[in-house]
Every structure is written in C-alpha cells, then in structure tokens.
Amino acid sequence: MKRTLLLYILSWFLLCNVLSSKGLFANGLYTEIEVPDGGCVAGYVKCTGNAGAPSIDLYAGWELPRASQVISEKLTVNKVNNGVKNVIVSISDIEKGKKGVVPQIHPVIDQQRSVFIPRVTAILAGTTVDLLNGDEEMHNVHTTSMRNQPFNFGMAYKQRISKKFDFPETVKLSCDIHKEYAWIVVFGNPYFDVTDRNGYFEICDIPEGTYKFRVWHEELGKREKEVMVRAKKIENIEFVYE
C-alpha cells in the first residue's frame, strides 16, 4: 500500500511537471540554458576480475551452423585496458544545461543473425528510432515499458519500423522468437554517452559545478560518483567494476 501511495505521489508530481513544462523533457527538472564555457568529463569504465571473458549466448544461434554462432555482447570487456563496452554514462542530478537536439537522422537498431545491433542505444527523449530486420527470416520487436507506449510487431526481412520515445525510461527491446534483446535508454537531458569498445566515454558542455555521474551496465549494475566540473576544462575520471 505504501508503495502504491508513493507511486501515486510520484506520478502526480511527474504529471504536474509534464503539464507545466510542456516540453519534451518530461522530467521537467531540466532547464535549457546557454552553456558558452562548459567543461568536459571523459574517461573509461573498466572491469577487473574474471568478468572479462565474453559470455556465449547459447540460445542465440539455435538453428545456425556452429561457425556462424554469434557471441553475445552481453558483457564485452577489452583485453588491453579492461574497458567495458556498452556502459551508459549519464549525469543523474543535472538541472540546467545545454539544449537537447533531437537527431534528424534516426538512430538505427538492426537485427542481424538474430542479434540486435547495437545492443545498447542511448537517446534523448523525443528521438525516433528505426528498427530494422536484416535477416531473411521473421523476427519480432517487443518492448516493455511503462511511460512510453510499448509495442510488439512482427518484422519480416527488410522491414523498417520507426518508433518515437517520448519519456525518459529504460526500455528493453526483445525478439521473442530468438530470445535476443537490446536496450534503449531514453534520457530527459542531453548529457549521456555509451562507452565504446575501449570503455571510453566523453560528455561535454557541462556547466560548472559538482554533479553525480552515474554508470549503468545490464550485467554489472549501477555505480555513482561525484565529479567537479570546471569551466573549459577536461576532467578525467574512471569507473571500475570489481
């Protein structure tokens, strides 16, 4: 009961904000300002320990020949510097900052050999994502989400489905036929990045101040760190999963 009550309060709060801001950024806490001399934060997300071994998703290739079985990107750790791929870095408590630009060219999530490529996509609220099927067989795209309207469509070869995500939320996108999935993370502000295969990320044009930086990985979970950003300076930080 307590939980429901909390949800009520929370949702009421959010609803008010939606009404008041009338903007795309539904969490409303974010105000757009000019940031002429913002600072940058760049760095690596690393993982130490045994987690570095790539996990093989045995389900992914159930009807493919052995040679073409795909190694899942569930947890990809660079052998050279232990950098983790596909970690989402964001600032959790930023209240004002640069203007978010919704890309005119839609980000694409393709399905090839029954695997979603890319596995993790981070977008600004209001962005339209194009879902593709590059396999000569049937897939489906099935999202589970609460605020963004979920969907579940069958997709034949070369089909293209465009979907707009309006509310900040983490959306799981899956193909039930092949038990493969991907993540679409929607943000209410433009301060976010996804690490590359070296675990590198950078977020720029941040107004001066101290912020909480948050990283999230589907397997490794969340980490948070406070970082001071100075004007026109590049701050180097490192997140380490142990």
Q: Nearer Cβ to other proteins, position 166 or 208?
A: 166
Rounded-to-integer distance, Cα 66 and Cα 163, Å: 34
With H, G, I as helix, E, B as strand and everything else as coil, classify residue 75.
Answer: coil
- Using CB atoms within 10 A of its CB, is residue 188 exposed (0-12), middle (13-18) or buried (19+)? buried
User: Would you tell me which residues interact with other proteins (CB under 8 A)?
Assistant: 1, 3-4, 7, 11-12, 15, 59, 62-63, 137-138, 140-144, 146-147, 149-156, 159, 161, 167, 176-179
Q: How far is the CB of 3 from other proteins (least distance, A)?
A: 8
Rounded-to-integer distance, Cα 215 and Cα 31, Å: 22
Q: Nearer Cβ to other proteins, position 144 or 236?
A: 144
Q: How far is the CB of 162 from other proteins (least distance, A)?
A: 10
Q: Nearer Cβ to other proteins, position 103 or 154?
A: 154
Q: Nearer Cβ to other proteins, position 111 or 143?
A: 143
Q: Nearer Cβ to other proteins, position 114 or 195?
A: 114
Q: How far out from the chain centre does Cα 200 lie?
A: 15
Q: How many CA atoms lie within 13 A of 203 on its CB side?
A: 28
Q: How far is the CB of 57 from other proteins (least distance, A)?
A: 13
Q: How far is the CB of 7 from other proteins (least distance, A)?
A: 6
Distance of CA 155 to CAs 93, 142, 176, 205, Å?
Answer: 38, 10, 12, 39
With H, G, I as helix, E, B as strand and everything else as coil, classify residue 235.
Answer: strand
Q: How far is the CB of 56 from other proteins (least distance, A)?
A: 17
